[in-house]
Structure 1
């Protein structure tokens, strides 16, 4: 086992405490003991109900928690042990779960005129939760700010400086939020219909986490206006990796993965045409493995998972996986899930949702 991974499991158990361990079934406790790391993912069960699964790196269930509906992205605070699962766009609920067992799960409901966009992040101290939300009357993305110490009470709202705000992350020092503004207009009465594909405005915004002030904003050139900037993952050196979904002609081969740092321009990775074509113009999730210097990406439409060298951008591995969905750093490279029930090297009788959260220190 990788030593860093052992530290991850132990840090999770220290955060979870005796109360959490006592709730595990014998099978779950055994899976946790053998695990290099702990992960969370939303899933749909065969009977149509939804839940949150805590998984071992080997693909065994550690615990399962009922959810009121389908979720999309998740975030975890290693400081407090809280996990929040966000409803799939245009959902209006999020669920906060305390692995310390100090409190019952908390259901967050979006305020009037807003819905969740499926993602959020904790401040490093775990005291604030930031959620990407849609101000659908104002046709703008916003960031809801919630007090995790006070029952996740909504205490502020920041402008996200774009529309279609999707993924959201925070710098390691907690001073800066990173918003992936996909640039696509939606309204809840139209469900998931995209209303402005001819006039999209994708961007990536850096925002002061204390007062919501815009630090800098990166827009895409006109030729890439239909390239929706959707998901982000941070490297240890401060580089922000982003993944895109293209809404233009199917035969185009646009860049789908890139990176930048504060004060620098966007840089796209020059992927081989066969990789871009294999990703089917749609990267659904991206993750950085900090210890290994790797970047991983998945495409459910293309049924492909790829691993890149973070320094050179070179493709070092590609794996065919129908309906490839979530990806997160593992002990060696990455753990990948699928809508068909794959998690790592095993297949399970559930449909995992699009994202995986690693419940431990970042790898």
Structure 2
């Protein structure tokens, strides 16, 4: 049978559920399988019994089980949009900068300057580039996010069961995170916990900002001084909560914003560093510790500083170097 535009109408087909989709709701599964089909139509074919699981009628909220056989009726799926290839530099980084990988998870050293996913005018993010690079992967999802200009440890799940477990870790205290940041000026304290609530999406001059506010969400970050330089301080920042721009806003609250922070930093200081050839945010997701979602083994993963960040530190005249590798018990 042919349609008016002379393209074949799809036939009934059956999909056996693997661990890539185990635990997913039927409606969400169909939306992913039938991209371009309106949600209203997907719910209608479920309601009318055209979609069946193991030959029986089913509810949209029904969670899929390993081995389920899902019947999908003939339905026209919108043609895929022309693929927009990922930038060559991003692709090169994704191939080269793998920190850890097995059959359940993948951890990369994300480069600065790339959003973790597309949207809001961004055609290709890290996850889209990774899927393009690995077309054979049946399941590949972001576990958490990093700001566009932040580099470092970024986790992906290769199984839905691993994704669920890792999401539980992030909602609780199952993941310990450590960032390296270069603050403007000399921050003389050795250690300080900033416990200041953050309010998201406050408009300032047409730009969405995060600010410290009593009406915001509880937010806590531990800052440790690692090294003092002529006009900057290298710190380790360990967030106890995971709010948007948390480390950046808390650093600015200290009176020592992160070098290269165009949103919360000091314009004149950022310009001075740009004149020296430095153009990015000095914030790097350095270390992660969590239990492997399948084996339970404790993973301690480290993302080396990118060359441009290390080069900046090497150029600075060090006045005082403290312990750059905290003891394991203090580290995590």
More helix by share: 2
Structure of greater Rg: 2
More strand by share: 1
TM-score, length-scaled by structure 1: 0.26
TM-score, length-scaled by structure 2: 0.28
